[in-house]
Amino acid sequence: MRIIAGTARGRRLVSPGSGTFDIRPTSDRAREALFNILAREVAGARVLDLFAGTGALGLEALSRGAESTVFVDKGRSAVSLISKNIQLCGFWEKSVVLQRDLTGSLSFLQPYATACGFPLVFIDPPYKTLLAEPIILELGKGDIVSAGGLVVAESHSGSQLPAAISLFSLVDQRVYGEAGFWFYKKKVMEKERDSL
């Protein structure tokens, strides 16, 4: 597992051990395809990486010019892995790592979202948990995601996610092997459109 492109290109990341069944890294091939699609969304973005696992998605974003990434995972082993990989890539100054359970309220993220919210969010829960939809629903509360922001949810390619979830509309869907990616755009409300 390595960083595909950008300032940390080729940097090998620490992978979970064989006994760590709750962490399933996104394959290099799927990550490369995903970031080819996201190219214009990444540069200068404040990124939120939920169920971050190894941190590979958020680190790839930083390598490609994202301003910062907030990594969140509930597992101690995952938080340790993320921290090691941030160190390997030299991105400490641009990173925040939080050990939190994501199955409840996400209001704890509000202080990290600043006034404008995150323009790019990754959600990669364990496939069997079916948490992508409820997490997106929770992200629709408050201003965690910016108006027009993009939420990319990864789940098993055979999963079914709806065309709309709360304030988010499905704008694209891709499959790479067992990995499926759903791209949701947050609607821009009238009052937000007026202030743009």
> Does pLDDT of 130 surpass 90?
no
Q: Which of 6-10, 70-74, 105-109, 132-136 has the lowest mean pLDDT?
A: 6-10
Please give the pLDDT value at position 22.
58
- Pull the structure tokens for residue 180: 């499926």
Q: How confident is the model at residue 19 (pLDDT cuts 50, 70, 90)?
A: very low
Please give the pLDDT value at position 25.
65
> Does pLDDT of 164 surpass 50?
yes
The residue written with tokens 């490369």 in the block is 32
Please give the pLDDT value at position 21.
45
Q: How confident is the model at residue 24 (pLDDT cuts 50, 70, 90)?
A: low
Which fold, 28-195? Answer: Rossmann fold (3.40.50)
Please give the pLDDT value at position 31.
85
- Sheet with 145-156, edge to edge strand ranges: 95-99, 68-73, 46-50, 118-123, 145-156, 179-186, 168-176, 164-165
Average pLDDT of the chain is 88
Please give the pLDDT value at position 142.
82
Q: Please indicate whether residue 86 or residue 114 has the higher confidence score (pLDDT).
A: 86
